Amino acid sequence: MQVYRHAVRHAWMMLLAVVVAFLLIAVVDQYYGHSTLAFAAAIALLIGANARILQFTCPKCGKNLFFRGLFVVPWPNKVCGKCKTDLSSEPHL
């Protein structure tokens, strides 16, 4: 499977993780009051879910699909910003 498709799956998984973290905080706040442990659990969940982001790189030049210069964006590039390789097509060897 091409690297772009894996990166898109990761982006959707991160969206799900954000929703779960938000719901976790809202539920704990509703039933137990304000809790820093709920925030800590949400942060740990998001860090754990995002740990794979550095694996999504261009197979030719190694540039990360989620980085645009100095910024990290929530959706991957279809075309590498450095070598202009089409990452949504079949894998390049």
SS3 79: strand
Q: What are phi and psi of 41, to 5 degrees?
A: -65, -40
Provide the pLDDT for residue 73: 87
Catalogue the E-assigned strands of the chain.
67-68, 71-72
Averaged over successive runs of 10 residues, the pLDDT of the chain (93 residues) comes to 85 94 92 88 92 88 87 87 80 52
Quick one: pLDDT at residue 83? 87
At residue 61, the pLDDT reads: 87
Cα gap 27→45, rounded to integer Å: 16
Residue type present at position 66:
F
